[in-house]
Structure 1
């Protein structure tokens, strides 16, 4: 799953055709959490969207259940997401990387997941919705595959520069990736536990630490 990410982007050369307007005067950060408004890319360009999709039929701006992630395997059938899916309201969420936690001695240890070759941003597939003039989005997830299985049983659905164009244009379909094959080559490493506080910001949050069993 994905419940926290950093979208203060670095080198974007591989994505320049899509991200030329990034971030369109929308704030970015190193510790983005659900309900925050962040820049998101759709076929209409970069827009400010709230993380946590609010369906058009909802009477409240915030729902009692979680909508910041949507399972790719069931998104077409879930009431909160199926209209956005059917209408192909697709979006792409560029990030520097995302955080995941594992149980470790002394408490949960956060890890930062990023491009294995450090060639620039990762881009997550998502869906967006509009309600009373406000835009919101969800991040699609799929079963973890490749090396990511050792970190968590689920992961965001990642796009490449080629697949992102088709996804935003409403062309083609995404299917859960094969267990052995990652859509995008990623790596992960431990970071400081201060990222657990959503109020903390700064590049220091993504600085690698020694593996927990190697730390002295």
Structure 2
């Protein structure tokens, strides 16, 4: 039996390993991307299935974006321009992203439970709706965004769950790295040689500096 990581595609082949997948400890993690055991699923044969069409409500589809959403949008556009070797356009989008980020008001009730709820909403509602619209319109670029975005959101959701369970111990004596192209987050001493999501080399990862402690 083979089990596949939903983040990076790593395959745990029981025929080649020393233990069946079910015997692995719940704390076991993917050796490539660090995803928890719960992110693995039995390997399935690929089937051609047309995604169901999910239409967004008109007021949701046409609503104005908040400053925070505009910041995220411009940040993603900056990364897209960087991948297309357009440094000037990338820099302009980064400036816009920083401007909107500074204009984003603080969230009074921000906590980990609310963040977990938002991430789960993206996974269960946001990405399926976006993917459906992209498939319906033959938009392959947006379909790729869905693939990358969903994987990054999955790893964020699992890391948040680990932090809520382990607390600061999760980050002791280690580093946090973020892929500057797709946003994949990795906890470890050094970044992976290749990003498990977008496959860029390790030098594309940025180390997140810790806050100074009093």
Q: Same fold (TM over 0.5)?
A: no
TM class by shorter chain equals under 0.3
Which entry has the higher C-alpha Rg, 1 or 2?
A: 2
Between Structure 1 and Structure 2, the one with more helix by share is: 2
| Higher relative contact order structure (alpha carbons within 8 Å, sequence separation ≥ 6) | 1
TM-score, length of structure 1 as denominator length: 0.25
